[in-house]
Amino acid sequence: MFGIRIVRQNNEGLVETLGKYKRSVTPGIHFYLPLFQRIQTVSLAMTPLALPNYSVITKDNADVSASLTLNYHVTNSVKYQYENTDSVESMAQLVRGHLRDIIGRMDLNEALGSTAKINQELATAIGDLTDTYGINVDRTNIDELTPSKAIQSAMDKQLTADRERIATIAKAEGEAKSIELTTKAKNDALMATATAEATATRTRADAEKYRIDTVNSSLGNAQPGFFENQSITAFSDLAKSPANVVVVPNDHIADLGQIPAIGAALKSGLATATPHQTHPKA
């Protein structure tokens, strides 16, 4: 009497006779002798495996909790089934050991920022070794690297201090820029005012020069009668002053019109001269 065993797709059957491996069979229907034989099946499909958090020490003695997942498949069902009591656990221990070694050669900051590098080195390290267990690791992925609570607290404080320092520097730079702009604006205003005043002064000077040049030109072209008339007018004004006596040189009587300021001098009693001609005030 024969027994019937169906090996499903993507599996391999291991035929044992009296507890000893005899041969492997492919997927399909197979017959065996009950009591003397049995057929064990081994899945050849890719299988995911999650390795829970476990402690890893970095190069700078920081305690990190590592978590990773990997995908593997059986490449040799005979090795997988008969040469190791638990090939999956052996493979997991191998992966964890290499992961500890890789992270142990890194500082904390380097490890936290180098998961892609860790994945690559881990895959290279375990590529050939797992063949001993009839397993091939197709993919590894670091899911999480978490520092211990004490280290996380210290990192948070450092991060807060760095942010406060950056904010303080930014504020100081802003205030310095504001002072710089304010000072520049004041200097520009002072320069604009000075320029305007200089322009106004030049304009007034040009106008005064023009007035003086015009007067000098007019005086230079004036007829003798103009100065005689000015002399008579000036003499009349001096005669009306409070002084009782007006002293005028005979030979310079015509020049009197050119020095109207002598009237003020006579009023203050400061003008004196040797009398050549005396004119009593009427």
- The domain segmentation of the chain, as residue ranges, is 3-43, 47-147, 166-221, 224-280
Structure tokens at 250: 């005979």
Distance CA 111, CA 175 (A): 39
Cα angle vertex 72, ends 67, 77, to 5°? 140
Q: How high is the pLDDT of residue 271? A: 44
The CATH number for 47-147, chosen from 3.30.420.10, 3.30.479.30, 1.25.40.10, 3.30.750.24, is 3.30.479.30
> What does the pLDDT profile of the chain (282 residues) look like in tens digits?
788 889 999 999 999 999 899 999 999 999 888 888 899 999 999 999 998 888 888 888 888 888 889 899 998 999 888 888 888 888 888 888 888 889 888 888 888 888 888 888 888 888 766 678 888 888 888 888 888 777 766 666 776 777 778 888 888 888 888 888 888 888 888 888 888 888 888 888 888 888 887 877 776 666 666 656 666 666 666 666 665 555 555 555 555 454 554 445 445 544 444 444 444 444
Question: Please, are residues 16 and 37 in contact by the beta-carbon 8 Å criterion?
Answer: yes
Quote the Cα angle for 221-226-228, to 5°. Answer: 130
Do β-strands 63-74 and 47-57 pair in parallel, antiparallel, or remain unpaired?
antiparallel
CB 74 within 8 A of CB 43: yes
Q: How many angstroms separate the CA atoms of 67 and 55, rounded?
A: 9
Strands (E) located in 172-261: 245-247
**pTM of the complete model:** 0.51
| Close Cβ partners of 233 (under 8 Å, ≥ 6 residues apart) | 257
